[in-house]
Structure 1
Amino acid sequence: MLNGNFFRGLGYLGEGFGLILQPGLRLFVIIPVLINILLFSLLFFYLGELFSGLIATAMGWLPDWAWLQALDWLFWLLYGAIIVLVLAYGFVMVANLIGAPFYGYLAERCEQHLTGQPIGDDEDWAGIVKDIPRSLWRELQKIAYYLPRALGLLILGLIPVVNLVAVVLWFVFNSWMMALQYVDYPADNHKISFPVLKKMLAERRLSALGFGLPVALAAMVPILNLFVVPAAVCGATALWVREQGSARY
């Protein structure tokens, strides 16, 4: 049974963009955005060459059937969509790994802004530095969850005809993964383990997918994906504040 509200979930990213403009949160948005700009600039050139190579390899696997060759433009689009989804989350994954300590603190300040209640001790920059090992460990857990599933879907996506279904599965999986990725920050601030978080979000799956879908789409848009990460952290925190109390765990 699917619980939650998909359409309510869709609104959390927009709320997150509004929250990152709040004076008390801006500083913890600017620093990760600067990190993302540097990272994106380095990856952009490299991934352009990688994209071309992957497309050429995938197209070379097509059997020499006339009807498949006539649809080569469609397979270009499908392979391109799958690879863009992989690279989009790959960029976000690396950006999150680097900026994780800032995002945890941003989620903490955002929740305090929404509820008016302090979350933990106010340690500012000392707290960010102290939390670096724990934040990196959380990110590695998410990467370990993501990679084998992404690999399986990538293999499916490179099989002609089957990739018609694989593209849809990619969007659903990436939407779920984006929700896990960002709701993990407020959950971590409340000492909720990653396995427990997965169960919690599964009980609000429609809300999680509704939130994750626009995040996944925005992550594929150059320039916008530089700003979507802090907005997603704040949007996920709003989801946590509004919906975690109604889930059973």
Structure 2
Amino acid sequence: MRDLGTGFGYLLKGQRWVAGHGRWFGFGLLPGLITLVLYVGALIGLAYGADDFVAWATPFADDWSEAWLAVFRGFLVFLVFALGLLLAVITFTAVTLLIGQPFYESLSEQVDKDKSPDGTAPESGLPLLRELWISARDSLRIVVRAAAWAVLLFALGFIPFLGQTVVPAIGFGVTGFFLTQELTSVALQRRRVEVREQLVMMRSRRLLIWGFGVPLAVSFLIPFVAVFLMPGAVAGATLMVRDLLGEDGDEGEDEGSGTAGDTALAGPDVQHPGAR
């Protein structure tokens, strides 16, 4: 259970870091603002079109009594919008990271330089276009996985009682996991850690990942909050990666999250950048 608190601590540390570096906070807001405008427009369109979509998809209910028809289709409209909102929360970070790759890459590098004893940051050594392609490809993979989970949870939501209690809790856990993977990928891609290796690392420390990602997922449900938390979330995810890979030395051990045992959990293919 200690990992839950440690994960939440990284989220707070990231917010404190950007609060102390105001220029980077403003710099990191731009991609989130662009994505927010796009998502708000999509959700408004969904809200206006959900009635017509549900009516088109349920022609068998046209002859029902007006009261039952209103209840049935009203519930389906709610579920359709809820699914759209869940997909928006799950994919917001991936789309924002894709749009803001150069912004968040620079922010993450600055965090690494600030925390590194020699003031340097790991570099992938890849051309910019290659980095953008890898980021887009990996983001698409994450979105596909997240969408599959969203559809499954949407279907499970029809189960009485469980659909209104257990399923939403699972949804926050799934969302928090994918949010954290998306955010840590900024720092991990610069270290040439592939998506498969990232998943090994995330799954080996699920409580840590949930401690970071679930509070973030809950806060993202509040309008506009995601935009303002994104810069700090990227900074916090970078700090967590440094400790997971043992790059902070004794400092990571003091916090219980950067030991050699943690590095081993990342899998045999994950190498420390200094070994390249």
Give the TM-score normalised by structure 1. 0.78
Instruction: Summarize the Cα distance change of 1:239–1:73 in structure 2 as closer, same or farther, 3 Å threshold.
Output: farther
Q: Which residue of 2 aligns with 1:199?
A: 200
Verify the 8 A CA contact 1:82 1:170 in the aligned structure 2.
Answer: no
Q: Which residue of 2 aligns with 1:131?
A: 131
Rounded Cα–Cα distance in structure 2 between residues aligned with 1:137 and 1:130? 11
Task: Report matched runs for 1:82-231 at 5 Å.
Answer: 83-117=84-118, 118-120=120-122, 131-157=131-157, 159-161=158-160, 162-164=162-164, 165-231=166-232
Q: Indicate the RMSD between aligned Cα atoms, in angstroms.
A: 3.7
Rounded Cα–Cα distance in structure 2 between residues aligned with 1:234 and 1:9? 13
Q: Which residue of 2 aligns with 1:15?
A: 13
Q: Runs ≥4 in structure 1, deviation > 4 angstroms?
A: 52-61, 72-83, 126-130
| Higher RCO, 1 vs 2 (CA within 8 Å, ≥6 residues apart) | 1
Structure exhibiting the larger radius of gyration computed from Cα positions:
2
> Offset of 1:135 from its aligned partner?
2.4
Rounded Cα–Cα distance in structure 2 between residues aligned with 1:37 and 1:44? 10
Give the secondary-structure state (helix, strand or coil) at the position aligned to 1:131: helix
2:37 to 35, 38, 41: 41
> Offset of 1:235 from its aligned partner?
0.8
Amino acid in the other structure paired with 2:153: L
How many residues are paired up? 242
Verify the 8 A CA contact 2:46 2:81 in the aligned structure 1.
Answer: no
Rounded Cα–Cα distance in structure 2 between residues aligned with 1:192 and 1:121? 12
Amino acid in the other structure paired with 1:216: A
Amino acid in the other structure paired with 1:50: L
Cα deviation, 1:201-231, whole Å, max 9, x if unaligned, reads: 2111111110001111122222211122221
Rounded Cα–Cα distance in structure 2 between residues aligned with 1:155 and 1:210? 26
Runs of 5+ unmatched residues, structure 1: none
Give the secondary-structure state (helix, strand or coil) at the position aligned to 2:115: helix
Runs of 5+ unmatched residues, structure 2: 247-258, 268-276
> Offset of 1:9 from its aligned partner?
0.9
Rounded Cα–Cα distance in structure 1 between residues aligned with 2:39 and 2:205? 34
Rounded Cα–Cα distance in structure 2 between residues aligned with 1:78 and 1:122? 43
> Offset of 1:133 from its aligned partner?
2.5
Q: Which residue of 1 aligns with 2:271?
A: none
Rounded Cα–Cα distance in structure 1 between residues aligned with 2:124 and 2:195? 24
Instruction: Summarize the Cα distance change of 1:95–1:121 in structure 2 as closer, same or farther, 3 Å threshold.
Output: closer
Verify the 8 A CA contact 2:177 2:210 in the aligned structure 1.
Answer: yes
Q: Which residue of 1 aligns with 2:252?
A: none
Give the TM-score normalised by structure 2. 0.71
Instruction: Summarize the Cα distance change of 1:238–1:192 in structure 2 as closer, same or farther, 3 Å threshold.
Output: same
* 1:26 and 2:44 correspond: no
Same amino acid, percent of matched pairs:
22
